[in-house]
Amino acid sequence: MLKILFSLLFLAPAALAQEFDLSRMPSDYAFVSIEEEGRLGLVFVGKDGDEYIFEQTLTYFDGRIERATIRVNNASQTTLAAFGDEKSTFIPHDCAPSIGTCYYVLNDSEGALNVKTETRLVGDVRIKDEFSQDGEEWLFWNRECTTFDEYGFWIDYVRTYWTGKTEAGYREQNRPNRIDELWRLCDPAAAVS
């Protein structure tokens, strides 16, 4: 479940300003991403005040279906991800495509978790290291290398967790994906060492 949540990580307050602005997004915005477990569809369904609402559907290769509602602000920063009765809130919002150091609080059924991200841009790829706070220490959580579209949503990504687990995903579209390039650039082995 966290894999899906972190696929939608966007910007943060302490980070540099970004070019993402959902006010220019078309009303029929949608895409399909090929994930390791199946096909993930993301569809814009409307606005609620200043937030944009998306429905996400993960259709697993074994036929199971998981649905989620995602809320983001105008800068494409996630504030809420709801999977049935499970909800995760990001206060004030998440951090993903921002550049620099950023902080947020993830609240879910397991409690509150302080998160720090450090993101740098290499070409058009954002390389993000994410850490969770344990007392005074920041523990490595994952490294993600991602390309984003003009609205702040992922196109191609690779990810390595602190456990050594890796995953990747890419948009279903009429162009080759960049997964091999991202693996070379991201150097996931270095992320966990």
The answer to whether residue 188 scores a pLDDT higher than 70 is: no
Higher pLDDT, 76 or 60: 60
Chain-wide mean pLDDT for the chain?
87
Closest CA to 119 of 151, 92, 152: 152
Query: Residue 129 and residue 137: Cα distance in Å, rounded?
Result: 15
Lowest mean pLDDT among 41-55, 151-165, 173-187: 173-187
- Retrieve residue 129's tokens: 């290291």
The answer to whether residue 68 scores a pLDDT higher than 80 is: yes
CA atoms within a 13 Å half-sphere pointing along the CA-CB vector of 7: 26
The alpha carbon of residue 14 and the mean position of all alpha carbons in its chain are separated, in whole angstroms, by: 17
Kindly tell me the sign of the dihedral angle through the C-alpha atoms of 162, 123, 20, 101. positive
The alpha carbon of residue 11 and the mean position of all alpha carbons in its chain are separated, in whole angstroms, by: 10
Query: Residue 189 and residue 52: Cα distance in Å, rounded?
Result: 36
User: Mean pLDDT, to the nearest integer, of 161-165?
Assistant: 90
| Domain range list for the chain | 2-192
Which residue do the tokens 């983001």 mark? 72
Q: What is the pLDDT of residues 77-108, one digit of tens each?
A: 899 999 988 999 999 999 877 889 999 999 99
Q: What pLDDT, on the 0 to 100 scale, is given for residue 84?
A: 87
Torsion, Cα of 66, 154, 12, 187 (10° steps): 110
The answer to whether residue 140 scores a pLDDT higher than 90 is: yes
The answer to whether residue 9 scores a pLDDT higher than 80 is: no
The answer to whether residue 187 scores a pLDDT higher than 90 is: no
Higher pLDDT, 95 or 131: 131
Higher pLDDT, 77 or 146: 146
User: Mean pLDDT, to the nearest integer, of 51-67?
Assistant: 97
User: Mean pLDDT, to the nearest integer, of 151-167?
Assistant: 93
